[in-house]
Structure 1
Amino acid sequence: MPSLITPPIWKTHIASPFDTLSVAVPIVITQLELLENHYEERETAYEEAKAAGEEAANSLHDIIGVLGEI
């Protein structure tokens, strides 16, 4: 016969919403920080590629100008 003082086992292992949030919130924050870092890295890579493309276009323009003078 179950004891009247001790609750059934299933009642002692149910997590409260606050327990779930205390675990989930730091995980979500970490994921958002990683996403932000990834976005910043992609933005930096885009800016570097854009600058390299502009430099290549300027060099090509200079080469065409020199060839036009020949």
Structure 2
Amino acid sequence: MGSSMTGNEQRHGKKGPGLLKVFQSVLAGALGVQSSKRHEEDFESQSPWPYIIVGILFTAGFVGTLILIVRWVLSG
């Protein structure tokens, strides 16, 4: 009754990483400035899927931004 953790979280004693933490890890990894402590925390995560999904979205956004910049420069 007062617990908001799922069965999986109760068994392992941890919550999954929050969206902000996942985004920060993906951004730091993309820039090559990920600390070894944060790197280890990421690999201790229960599931790789949040990192994979955010990584794909980040990459798509990055490529899309580059395409827009190139089109803008070439049009001018």
Task: Please say whether Structure 1 and Structure 2 have the same fold, judged by a TM-score greater than 0.5.
Answer: no
State the structure with bigger RCO (CA 8 A, min sep 6), 1 or 2: 2
More helix by share: 1
Bucket of the pairwise TM-score, normalised by the shorter protein: 0.3 to 0.5
TM-score, length basis structure 2: 0.41
